Amino acid sequence: MDWHGKVALVTGGGTGVGRATALRLAARGAAVAVNYSRSEAEAEEVAALIRTQGGRALALRADVSDDAQVRLLVRWIQQAWGRLDLLVNNAACTRFLDHRDLEAHTDEVWDRILAVNLKGAFYCARAAAPLLREHGDGAIVNVASVAGLTGGGSSIAYAASKAALLTMTRSLARALAPEVRVNAVAPGFLVTRWTEGQDRRRDEAIARSALRRLAEPEDVADAILSLASARAVTGQTLVVDAGRSLD
């Protein structure tokens, strides 16, 4: 798909998968809103890099768990560029907790993880829907996790939030059709700031993956762009884990 003249919003766009996706989209001609909540310096760096390469980008702050901030975020994009063609729901949070330690999964843990990972994606989709529908070919790609398929991952709350996000992907695909396609990617273990220092888990993931490697943020970004461009695909989840889940 030719992204020239199109506009994308990438939540959590300053680091990891969000950064890689924002840069991929900009390289293909899209104007990119790089959303952040706390990673201001990183988001500004991504936006500045895009602009130095001749692209269009804005770093925009909003906590996706706050509906009012999300609606304002979308209005900023509309005022700046007049349209929105792609929403990438990448913003997420987690806590690394032993799954057997049920008491560690407090209300605070559950509330924050669900507020960002699930409700935040819904708030963004709801706020963006009118703009995405305008041109009849809008797209949403939700960044979930294989934890949502296996029940593993950093915590029970995180796995549950990503499983719910996969279900919501199908629900939104029905609700927003035919003007907007909604799909999801489910990355496996990635080397990001979340997993720095987890050498044992990294080595195990490599050893048990069919491709004997880890997926990189750029691999996930490629999958996101593929789904965003696939005009006959909606309500689907693409696993990006170098074949680890084949085990």
The catalytic site residues sit at 158
Q: Quote the CA–CA distance of 37 and 115 in Å, as a whole number.
A: 13
* Site of tokens 């708030």: 123
SS (H, E, C) the chain: CCCCCCEEEECCCCCHHHHHHHHHHHHCCCEEEEEECCCHHHHHHHHHHHHHCCCCEEEEECCCCCHHHHHHHHHHHHHHHCCCCEEEECCCCCCCCCCCCHHHCCHHHHHHHHHHHHHHHHHHHHHHHHHHHHCCCEEEEEECCCHHHHCCCCCHHHHHHHHHHHHHHHHHHHHHCCCEEEEEEEECCECCHHHCCCHHHHHHHHHCCCCCCCECHHHHHHHHHHHHHCCCCCCCEEEECCCHHHC
Other C-beta atoms closer than 10 Å to the C-beta of 235 total 15
